[in-house]
Amino acid sequence: MASKRDLVFRAIRGDEVERVPVGFWFHFVTLEEKGQGLNNPRIFQKSVDGHRSYVERIRPDFVKIMSDGFFLYPSNVYSPKIASIQELSSIESIGEEHPWIQQQVEVVQAIRETFTEEIASFYNIFSPISYLKRWFRTETSRGDREVADLLLENPEQFRAILDVIAGDIAILTQKIIQQGGVDGIYLSTQEIQDERITPALYQTCIEPSNIAILEAANQVGGTNILHICGFEGASNDVTIFKDYPAQVVNWATHHEDVSLTQGQELFPGKAVLGGFENGKKSLLYQGSKAELQDETRRLLAEAGSKGVLLGADCTVPDDFDLERLDWIRQAAVL
């Protein structure tokens, strides 16, 4: 019998499959711990143990390895009180030997060593703009307005800052694939949620740093998933991402009102991943077994079985009932 890894890659290539792969993911650390993993053995082990338990319990078709603990990009200019782009002008690369890079490689290696069967894995990488936004996150802001202010202050300098961050994330990406052993990355990005930043401005100042990460992953043989992150309070014009060099695309089908079938037309030649809304009010979270299996069959009747992987718009709640994944997987048999 072919391995689950083989099944996933046949689906990504658009080959015939006997069953459409299914995958969901959630975090294994608390909200506060997401940025506290550097030099923290407790959070390191918590991530390893969480992934191990998840894989043992549900035996997923593929695994998105979460970058839990490493959500904050370290830098010589990091400060949540930055008020002008000039304060970022001295930004420097952290260097390929930085513990923030090395420890992520090590945690990926440790997680993959717990796998008991051959399954595909993809490591969560945030885009440079997403890492930058996190410097400005507070209880009342996701950092969009603050980042937009910096971009508008000096667009050319803003792009140069993202290029420095992108250089480090490209190094991380290649090491994660070459040394960590994952099959590729899951690149999470989104538009700046500020009406002053038009799609054209996004494509000029931010898009190059996104594409640089995917190109770095492609250079070392990665098979990569582009995640266009949308949810209540964050929307995207998904058409601006249509030419990104990823092999699989995942977006918020419900929030952005772009179905899997519409995505197949928008992203020709790429596999599509998703179909289910991820929130606590969703069918995925609340629906009965019969309802979920009916929705699974409806999605596949509409989108077909080639180049399709079923999953959610984004990360599912931490208390998600894992048995639901199996309900969907059972209905995805062709």
**Model pLDDT, residue 298:** 97
Q: What is the pLDDT of residues 154-212, one digit of tens each?
A: 999 999 999 999 999 999 999 999 999 999 999 999 999 999 999 999 999 999 999 99
Question: 302-314 pLDDT, tens per residue?
Answer: 999 999 999 999 9
- Percent of the chain exceeding pLDDT 90 equals 90
Confidence (pLDDT) at 222: 97
CATH number for region 4-73+82-332: 3.20.20.210
On the question of pLDDT at 330 being above 60, the answer is: yes
H-type helices in the chain, by residue range?
4-13, 41-58, 99-112, 128-134, 144-153, 155-178, 199-205, 207-219, 260-266, 283-286, 289-303, 323-331
Cα 265 from Cα 304, distance rounded (Å): 13
| Averaged pLDDT, 251-277 | 96
Q: Is 283 exposed, middle or buried (0-12, 13-18, 19+ CB in 10 A)?
A: middle
Phi, psi of 324 (to 5 degrees): -65, -35
Give the Cα separation of 171 and 164 in Å (integer): 11
* DSSP structure string for 114-158: T--S--EEEEEEE-HHHHHHHTT--SS--SHHHHHHHHHH-HHHH
Whether pLDDT at 213 is above 60: yes
Q: What backbone phi and psi angles, to 5 degrees, belong to 144?
A: -65, -45
Instruction: Indicate the pTM of the whole model.
Output: 0.96
pLDDT for 81: 84
Residue 1 pLDDT class (50, 70, 90 cuts): low
User: What percent of the chain shows pLDDT beyond 70?
Assistant: 100
List alpha helices for 26-98, DSSP H. 41-58
pLDDT tens, 74-133? Answer: 999 988 789 899 999 999 999 999 999 999 999 999 999 999 999 999 999 999 999 999
Q: What is the mean pLDDT of the chain?
A: 95
Q: Phi/psi at 187 (nearest 5 deg)? A: -85, 115
Please give the order of strands across the beta sheet that includes 271-276. 62-65, 120-126, 184-189, 225-228, 248-251, 271-276, 308-312
Does 233 have pLDDT greater than 80? no
pLDDT for position 217: 98
